[in-house]
Each structure stands twice: as C-alpha cells, then as structure tokens.
Chain A
Amino acid sequence: MTLELNNWAAALVAGAGALLAIFLIPAIFNEYEVLQMMIYVILAILALSLAFIWGIGGILSFGHAVFFGLGAYSYAIAAINFGETTSAFLVAIIVPSLFAAVLGYFMFYGRISDVYLGAITLTVSLVFFKVANSTSGPSYRIGKAPLGGFNGIPSVPRLTVPGFPEWELGTIELFSLSVVLLALTYVGLRFLISSDFGRIVLSVKENERRSELLGYDVRRYKLLTFIIGAAIAGIAGCLYANWGNYTDPSVFALSQSVQVIIWVVVGGVGTLIGPIVGCFLLQWLTTWLTTIDTINKDVILGGILTIVVLLLPQGLVPTIRNLAWTVAARATRHEEKAV
C-alpha cells in the first residue's frame, strides 16, 4: 500500500462513469429497473462509508446500520415536520454525525479495545432496532411524524430541488442524484485519504502506538474518521427513505450491518472501489436468488463470503488488480527478453 494516489484520474473516470450511468441507464431500462438499480447505488454509498472507517481507519463497526437508519429516520421525521426537504437532507447528515460523535467519544476516549468496540456498536444497533420496533401507536410521534413501530414511517416526502419546493424529484432524477452522490463520495474520500489528514488516519490504522509516540492524538483521528463515516451512512439512509418513500426498523437490523461488512470483505478491505463492486455484485445476486424459490439466498451469500475469506483474503478487487499487475510485469519482461 502506498499513499500516492492518482486522484484526478480517478475523479475523471468517476465523473465519466456517473454521466454514462445518468444518461444511458434511464434510456435503456424501464422505470422499475432503474428503481432497482437505484437501491444498489444507495447501498454502495453505505458500503463506502464502512470502507472508509474500517478499510482506511481500521475501525470495525458491527452496527454500522445505526447511522444508515438514523439518516433514514431523521430525514423522514424532519421532512414531515419541516414541510420542505433541503434542511431535512442536512438533518439526515447531522443527526448520525452527532450520534457518532457522542458514541465515538466514549469508545475512543475510553480507549476500549477493538473487540469491545465491535460489541458496543452491535449492541447499539440492536437497541435501536428494538426501540424502533416498539414505537407502535399514535402516542409515538415526533411532531407531525408518527414513528409507526414495525410498520415504520410511510409517505416520506421525496426530496425537492432546493429553492423549488414544488419540484419533487422523480425516479430518474433521484437515480441521477444518487449516482452523483456516489461518485462525489468516492472522489471526495480519495482526496481525503491522500490529504494530510488521510495520511495520518492511515498511519493510525497501521500502527496506533507509533502514531501516538509521534505526538498524534489517535483518539481524535479515530473519532473524526468515525464521524465522517457516519455522515456518509446518513446520506445513504436519507436516499433510502426517498427511494421507497418510507422507512422502517429494518434499516437498523443486524442483517443490514452484516451485509455491509460482507460487501466490504468481498470487494476488498482497504480499497474504495472494492466495496462498491462487492455491493453491486452481491445485491444483484441477492435480487436474482430471491426469484428462485428452491434456493436460500443466505446460504449462497454465506458460502460466497466463506470462499472469498479462504481463497481471496484480500477481496475481489485487490486480487484482480494484483493478478493484472503480475501479468503486465511478465509481459514486460517477455518483451524485454525478445528485444
């Protein structure tokens, strides 16, 4: 691993890819299929958030869905109460960030070990899941927004164009926005990782004690990493609430948190593109498997995870990349010999 990254080239590729997706996919596929692809894009943003805090920051959260869920719920509640969505979008980023700041403060400044960090984040997600499920009845509401218990919050207002409250985003527009936000998150994280802050975050992951001995307050860097990851997960949660015009307690579910970890592991921990690929691939596979009655998708996904961990421990993208480099190096040597 090296800190030298060609960010501008990545930004160009991501920008071109986003433009292609925005113009080609709606032209080729029908609205239902675009809606289906939109969820992959939204979940890829969630995958990127864990890719950053785990793969780059070395913090493995077993309850990452909490921030996703908080983004979805806080957007839904704010949008219903405010009657406009631009500030609700910001609330969906601020609430998970603030919660991550409080939770992270106790975890990192309390210097708990990685194992306990995993246990705490897992427990927190279970608590949110339980609480969200037990809010049935008219008495459970925040302002005008009913929490709805296991049925969740229906009729969540769609995002509107800032300054044009009547201009509600349609499916294609929301898809385009999701693609743009995925590309921006990817490029933004690349630039962040290669910034001085990102280099220090990487060093903390590499060797926490040495970073401390150099004078870096590793607690602060871990906390900031955690908050940034939570903010990105909040964006994904907000888009998720927009995607289905509802949100329910399943956004806090353990299965949701585990799924994100699997995307990152399969795609490649320590990369940004890997978790995006892992998310697309596994979500597409999950969708396809659910159409086959005789196959249990969880067994297949569990099998894939086991195979990847055993045979491709670096994940798909790093393995393919290393393979490509090896082939290219051999080809170069072969050419040199021929000359």
Chain B
Amino acid sequence: MMSAAKLVETKDLGIHFGGLQAVQGVNFSLNQGELRCLIGPNGAGKTTFFRLLTGVHKPSVGSVTINGTPIKGLQTHQIANLGVGIKTQIPSLFDNLTVRENLWLSARKRNAHAEADRIADEALETIKLAHAAKTEVAKLAHGQRQWVELGVVIAGHPKLILLDEPAAGMTGHERERTAELIRDINRTCAMIVVEHDMEFIKMIAKTVTVFNRGEVLMEDAVDKVLSDQRVKDVYLGKQTGGVTL
C-alpha cells in the first residue's frame, strides 16, 4: 500500500548495451513533491537511468512505475503525458524557434491555445527571459539556453521534473540563480537532479542517491553522503580534487 503513494518506483531496473551493463538492479523510489539529487562518477549510469524513466531506452530487466502506472510498453510521448518533464544534459530545444515559441509548444500540449499563451508568458517571467522572448534560441548564451530548457519543462506543468546537470557550464551567479529557480519549482512538483557540482548539490539537496557502475551505492541525507568514505573513494576524491565536504 505504501508504494501507491510513491511518484516514481523502480524495481530491479537494469539495461545493458551489448556486453556493457549500464544500469543494474536499481531499486529507487521518490515521494510526491520530493527533491532528490543523483550523483556519481562519469559513466555511473545516471543519464541512462533518466533515459529509462522517460522511455528513451527500454529496460532489459525490471520495471518502472510512475504515479502508479507501469511504463512498460509506453512510448516516450505517453510517458511525458503521465507528467514527466526532462531537461537533458545538452540543452535540447527548438533552436530556430524563439524563446517564447519554445515555451508555448510545451504549454500547448496540455492546454488550449489562449491558456498556452498565458503559461508561456508566465514561464518567461519565471526564467527571467521576458526581454529575450522573440530571440531565436540558437542565438542565446549557454546559461540562458539552460534556463529556456528549464522554462520549457515547467511550462508543461509536469508532476515530476528530471534535470540532467542543470548548472553545467554556468557562472557562479548563474548557478545561484538556477538553484533558486529549482527550489521555487520544487514547491509545486517533485524533482530528480543529476549534478556533478557539489557546491550546487549542497544548495538544493536534502537526500542524495549515489550511482556507481550502474548500481545504487548509497542513499542518504546530503551531509552523510558527502562525508561517506565509500562515496569519496568512488567519486568525490577523484572528481573534485579537494572540495571541502
């Protein structure tokens, strides 16, 4: 009965590409409204895990349930329509369309034309890019493109948002603004955030799940995870080269 309350639940989830076991035996769950951070070294399976949740990859074994619905056999767009929005690692946008058009297309999926207009304008304000509404996305700076993709995700009013490295390539000021934005968005929906930047993780995370070699290494409160010796060994020590944990 407890599982019915979970927004995301995976059981023994795994996928292999030929001989490479990218994700294996992952039992993961996320509560409604929760914000979870995923960390792990490059190649740990975090992005693949996101692709399994969005239906881009089909699992070799195990199952995924989103809001009580098993996603086995569902197409990517059908999973998106369950209320799953994703910001990919490399911004994936409609580059030759304007910022507002990108947001509008997201909002239009679940709303009538006029309501989509309103939501697009609202999202423009949220990501603070109203001044660039008519700018083609291809002409924006990297950080701004990241925000547009965040805006695209929130304009779809999802129940669950997956963010893959939202602060990658951002300046210090941009990272702070992004962290603030994520905390704001989390007031209305659950989020899973993949990030390498430990300072950024500390700004937003309560619970952290650590991936290593396609498996869940540990899952705990952010302070406990960042001070755990196993985590330091597999990831943080090598990755950050002296970050204060």
Contacts and interface: CB of A to CB of B under 8 A. Distances in A.
B97 interface: yes
A250 B116 CA distance: 48
Given A203-B94, A207-B94, A214-B109, A2 B77 contact: no
A105 interface: no
A217 B94 contact: no
Interface in A1-53: 1-3
Given A3-B97, A210-B92, A215 B86 contact: no
Interface stretch (A162-170, A179-187, A194-202, A308-316): A194-202
Contacts of A206: 94-97
B142 interface: no
Of A2, A200, A214, most B-chain CB atoms within 10 Å: A214
A217 B95 contact: no
B98 A215 contact: no
Interface residues of A, number: 20
A211 B76 CA distance: 10
A144 interface: no
A298 interface: no
B86 A200 contact: no
Given A2-B136, A3-B97, A207-B95, A200 B77 contact: no
Given A212-B76, A213-B86, A215-B77, A2 B109 contact: no
Of B95, B96, B104, most A-chain CB atoms within 10 Å: B96
A216 interface: yes
Interface string B93-108: 1111110010011101
B113 interface: yes
A213 B81 CA distance: 9
Contacts of B136: 1-2
Contacts of B110: 215
A90 B92 CA distance: 42
A214 B106 CA distance: 6
Given A209-B92, A212-B80, A216-B109, A3 B54 contact: no
Contacts of B94: 202-203, 206-207, 210
Contact of B81 (A1, A202, A211, A215): A215
Interface residues of B, number: 29
Nearest to B54: A213
A58 B101 CA distance: 18
B92 A199 contact: no
Contacts of A1: 96-97, 136
B69 interface: no
A211 B56 CA distance: 13
Given A2-B136, A3-B101, A200-B105, A214 B95 contact: no
Contacts of B88: 213
Of A200, A207, A213, A216, most B-chain CB atoms within 10 Å: A213
A206 B81 CA distance: 20
A218 interface: yes
A268 to B, nearest CB: 15
Contact of B80 (A196, A199, A203, A213): A213
Interface in A212-231: 212-218
Contacts of A214: 77, 80, 105-106, 109, 152, 156
6 contacts: A2-B134, A196-B113, A203-B94, A213-B77, A213-B88, A215-B81
Interface of B: 54, 56, 75-77, 80-81, 85-86, 88, 92-98, 101, 104-106, 108-110, 113, 134, 136, 152, 156
Interface of A: 1-3, 196, 199-200, 202-203, 206-207, 209-218
